[in-house]
Amino acid sequence: MSTIIAGRFTTFQQAEGAAQRLFARGFLEEDVTLFYVAPSGQHARFGVGGDHDADAGARDASAGAGKGVTIGAVIGAIVGAAIFALFKSPIIVSALAAGVFAYVGSLAGAMSHSRSGKRAHATSPDNHGSANALDARQSGVLLAVHVSPETQADAAAVLRDCGGKEVERASGQWRQGKWADFDPTIPPHPLTEFAEQRA
């Protein structure tokens, strides 16, 4: 595995400027690459799109729909029976009322058990892999540098000084001048010593 230092930039122009500073410091072109990282959830890791086969926030929606159908059908049957008793309407009205209430109940139950739009707790396994994850990787231009133990601090300093955000250290496979096994769904692990802009 190779050691990689990377930083996120807002534009390609900023990232290219940082790359030029790295080259001026003696880094080789085959050890520097830049590429765009799409927003979380938009990496098309599946044939139908998206990054995961199911949204973590919708995991309990089917259970909620089942509860809602049951509650809605019971309420609908009671309403239908009341309409039948009070207005001497046909029995079909009772069945229709039960069906309508069951349908509305299933929708309400599914919605009440969905967590879409809410952020998961940091310790939750649902915290990864959705646009609402607390530690989701931000979109932008990523400049990655293949480094040695002696050059990693210099590379990180250049990225931070040039405006790089979330300067991180990673282990990965570096092949033919590229970070070959980069996974955009894995959150970055920022270098704490470069968390603040250098003076």
Confidence of residue 168 (pLDDT cuts 50, 70, 90): very high
Residue that wins the pLDDT comparison between 40 and 135: 40
Residue that wins the pLDDT comparison between 8 and 52: 8
Confidence of residue 121 (pLDDT cuts 50, 70, 90): very low
- pLDDT score of 8: 95
Residue that wins the pLDDT comparison between 40 and 184: 184
Q: How many CA atoms lie within 13 A of 74 on its CB side?
A: 5
Q: Tokens for 49, please give them.
A: 């799109």
Write out the DSSP string of 41-93: T-S--STTSSSSSS-GGGTTHHHHHHHHHHHHHHHHHHHHHHHHHHH---HHH
The 3-state DSSP class for residue 155 equals helix
Kindly report which listed range (5-9, 73-77, 116-120) carries the lowest average pLDDT score.
116-120
Residues 77-86: what's their mean pLDDT? 86
Q: Where are the alpha helices (DSSP H) in the chain?
A: 12-24, 61-87, 91-112, 152-161
- The three-point CA angle 45-48-52 to 5° equals 45
* CA pair distance 27, 44, nearest whole angstrom: 33
Dihedral sign (CA 147, 148, 153, 158): negative
- pLDDT score of 49: 61
- pLDDT score of 44: 60
Is this structure's pTM higher than 0.75? no
